[in-house]
Amino acid sequence: MRVIHRSAAIDPENEAPSAPREHVLATDVDVADSFGSQARGLMFRRSVPDDYALVFPFEEADSRSLHMLFVPFAIDALWLVDGEVTKAKRLRPWVGLGWGTADTIIELPAGAAEDVEPGDIVEVVE
C-alpha cells in the first residue's frame, strides 16, 4: 500500500489549476481499522520510519480529533473527506491536539506532508 498526494495548486500565471503534481507520501502503510487500533494509534512507539503512514478509516465524515498523549515525536496529520484534504496540521509531541472534519485521517512523520494543503487529493492505493 502507498499514500499518494496530488496537489491542487494554482498556476500563478493564468490563475487556473496547474497539472496535478503527484508524489508518494508513504510506502509503509498500516490501517487502524478496529476500535483498539484506532484508540492506540501511535501511542507508546518511540518513532516511525520516514516512509510510514497510519490510516484511520471511518464510515462517514464527522468532526474527528487527534491527541499526542504518549506519542514522543511530532507528526503531520491529514483530515480527508472523499480523498480531499480538509485540514493539515503538525502535531507536537506529548501535547499536540487537532480537530477536523474527516472520513479518513492519516498520520505521517513530521515533515512528510509539508507541501499538502486543504483542497489537495490524498489517496491510499494498493
* Percent of residues, the chain, with pLDDT higher than 90: 87
What average pLDDT score do residues 103-112 get? 98
Measuring CA to CA, how many Å separate 51 from each of 25, 26, 66, 94, 117?
Answer: 7, 4, 20, 22, 19
Q: Which cell goes with 64?
A: 474527528
Global pTM exceeds 0.85:
yes
What average pLDDT score do residues 106-117 get? 97
pLDDT attached to residue 20: 66
Sign of CA dihedral 28, 33, 37, 42: positive
Q: Is 15 helix (H, G, I), strand (E, B) or coil?
A: coil
Report the alpha-carbon distance of residue 14 to residue 67 in Å, rounded: 41
pLDDT attached to residue 21: 80
pLDDT attached to residue 97: 97
What average pLDDT score do residues 62-79 get? 97
What average pLDDT score do residues 72-90 get? 98
